Every structure is written in C-alpha cells, then in structure tokens.
Amino acid sequence: MPKPHAVFTRKALLALAFIGASVPGLMGVAQARVQKQNPAEPHPAINHLCGGVGDASLRRLKTQAGNFNAGFWMVSGSDGAYLADVPIQIQSHGQTVASFTAGGPLCYVELPAGTYTVTGTHHGQARSMPLHAGSMNQYLRW
C-alpha cells in the first residue's frame, strides 16, 4: 500500500504536468485576444527624400525619383521661389503617417496606395494639398 504522501505527490505532479501542458494553449488564446483588441497596426514607415538646394543637388535628387511613387515641390510667390526647411506632415484618414522637415524644395515619398493630405508650414502659414501615390509634381505654394 502506497504511503498517503506518495499518492498526494503523484497526484500533485500529474496536476502540474496537466497545467504545464495547457499553459501554452492558454497563452495562445490570450495573445489572440490581445491582437483582436488592438486596432490596426501603425502605418509602416514612409520613406522620403527631400533636397534640391542648388542646381547640382537638384539634379542628384531627381536621379532618385524612380525609387519613389509620389513627389511634391514647395515654392513661394508668383515666381515660384524654392523653399527649404519646411515642416511637412502627411496624413491619411486624419492620422499622421509621416512628419519631417523638408531640407529643400523637392520631396519624394513612397506611399501605399491611397489619398493623402500633405501639409506644410512656412512663416507660420499652413498650406495643404491632396497627394496620391503616382503623383510626382504637386506643388505646395505660399
């Protein structure tokens, strides 16, 4: 006849083994619930390249156009004077997907399909325009 504490020990070990085998399954359920509760993933990073201050820089920048699917210029006045150091914000459905300071008058961006709003601020005045993937020569004009 087994000793009472030996029977208890075997039952306890069996219970722990059962719980241990079940925990990974329970963790999978918890993770699935967390994933379902979280809204959509944040937007992937939006690659961008801005510059074009000076003719040589502008020529070099334009050679990179094929690596992007949208582009826009920042200009001022009726003569279209080039602008630099313009804070830019790109939004999709009211959510900011990119924010950067344009180092020159021309910016190229790689955007997922869709319509975006590009907003720039120059001398305290904000300007906005729609931008679609595939549009390469849009203008923000002050």
What is the CATH classification number for the domain harbouring 120? 2.60.40.10
Q: Which domain holds residue 91?
A: 48-141
**Domain identity same for 31 and 96:** no
The three-point CA angle 112-59-101 to 5° equals 50
User: Please, which residues have CB within 8 angstroms of residue 70's CB and are 6 or more apart in sequence?
Assistant: 108, 109, 110, 111, 116, 131, 132, 133, 134, 135, 136, 138
Average pLDDT, the chain: 79
Give pLDDT, residue 45: 79
pTM reported for the whole predicted model: 0.68
In a domain, 52, yes or no: yes
Q: Which SS3 state, helix, strand or coil, does residue 9 take?
A: helix
In a domain, 31, yes or no: yes
In a domain, 4, yes or no: yes
Number of domains in the chain: 2
Mean pLDDT of 24-47: 42
* pLDDT confidence bin for 63, thresholds 50/70/90: very high
Look at residues 120, 89, 90, 110 and name the one whose alpha carbon lies nearest to residue 47.
110
